[in-house]
Chains A and B, each alone.
Chain A
Amino acid sequence: MKENNFFERVKQNPRPVVVDFWAPWCGPCRAIGPVMEKLGADYTNRVDVWKVNADEQPDLLRSLGIYGIPTLIAFHKGQEIARRTGAASQAALSTLFEAALSGDKPVHSGPAMMDHLLRFVAGAALFILAFQGRFSGMYLFLAGLGAVVAFSAVYDRCPIYRAISARLKAWLRKDQPDQSRS
């Protein structure tokens, strides 16, 4: 699919489109594969799912400003409404489908800016306290706690965390297939 051809097809498509930019060698792309298939089935005849192999379309990726995969872009009436890079849960990915369907930008569901700041400052303060105690005994525990609190400020932006949590959730769902239906 050529660059102009892609935008033309998105515009002319009768339904909203969610485009999945992926590659066969990309682990997180494979991790979200079953989730995308399920969402595609759930939104049949409402939202179309297109898969674009990133290796075969470098110019298209450049023109869309995609620098990492998997990247998912939701289009409504030919206009980009939302995008997400990295593996994510089914709930998070379904917001893209909803955005494509409604044409409204999705509400950011992660921690607010002040939350990030508060957690980071608290984590740093705990770490400084631990540093004062030369990381011995109880202070080492405090340093670990500080690290966890500081990480909670940025966890939603960490690609490693997102990839691991998405795989873990997919694995848990596979392990307990009946629970998701009840």
Chain B
Amino acid sequence: MFKVNEAIWDRIACVVLGIVLLYLDLGGVVAGGLGVVLDIFGAIFLLTGLVGFCPLYMLFKFSTKKS
């Protein structure tokens, strides 16, 4: 389907960052428009971390995963 381009440390970082960003809004730390933006970024980070594929990396032909 798509080629994994994130190393495992990168994926863990993405998942952790995604959860933290989601927590900032859903946990009530940040509110309003900024919260929605954090939610969107959080969901994107979480998703890329879980599947190991980052579309931005592909766009710039970059990969943290050793081939």
- With CB as the reference atom, state the residue of chain B lying closest to A149: B50
Chain B residues near A152 (CB-CB < 8 A): 50
Residues of chain B from 1 to 52 with CB closer than 8 A to chain A in the complex: 8, 11-12, 15, 18-19, 22-23, 26-27, 46, 49-50, 52
A118 touching B50, Cβ below 8 Å: yes
How far is it, in angstroms, between the C-alpha of A118 and the C-alpha of B18 when the chains are bound? Answer: 12
Give the number of chain A interface residues (Cβ < 8 Å): 16
* Contact among A122, A133, A139 with B46 in the assembled complex (CB-CB below 8 Å): A122
Chain B's interface: helix, strand, loop or mixed, by majority?
helix
- Known A114-B8, A122-B19, A126-B19; contact A138-B50, beta-carbon cutoff 8 A: no
* Contact among A118, A138, A142, A149 with B11 in the assembled complex (CB-CB below 8 Å): A118
* Contact among B11, B27, B49 with A132 in the assembled complex (CB-CB below 8 Å): B27
How far is it, in angstroms, between the C-alpha of A132 and the C-alpha of B49 when the chains are bound? Answer: 23
A129 touching B15, Cβ below 8 Å: no
Chain A residues near B46 (CB-CB < 8 A): 122
How far is it, in angstroms, between the C-alpha of A29 and the C-alpha of B46 when the chains are bound? Answer: 38
B26 touching A125, Cβ below 8 Å: no
* Contact among A119, A121, A122, A139 with B26 in the assembled complex (CB-CB below 8 Å): A139
Q: How many A-B residue pairs have CB under 8 A?
A: 33
Chain A residues near B15 (CB-CB < 8 A): 118, 121-122
| Chain B interface extent, by class | 10 to 19
- With CB as the reference atom, state the residue of chain B lying closest to A123: B50
- With CB as the reference atom, state the residue of chain B lying closest to A117: B12
B8 touching A142, Cβ below 8 Å: no
B26 touching A138, Cβ below 8 Å: yes
B26 touching A129, Cβ below 8 Å: yes
Chain A residues near B50 (CB-CB < 8 A): 118-119, 122, 149, 152
- Give the distance to chain B from A113, nearest Cβ to Cβ, in Å: 10
16 contacts between A and B (CB under 8 A): A114-B8, A114-B11, A115-B52, A118-B12, A119-B50, A122-B49, A122-B50, A125-B19, A126-B19, A129-B19, A129-B26, A129-B27, A132-B26, A133-B26, A149-B50, A152-B50
Residues on B lying within 8 angstroms of A by beta carbon are 8, 11-12, 15, 18-19, 22-23, 26-27, 46, 49-50, 52
Known contacts A126-B19, A129-B22, A139-B26, then 6 further A-B pairs from the complex at CB < 8 Å, ordered by chain A residue: A118-B11, A118-B49, A125-B19, A142-B22, A149-B50, A152-B50
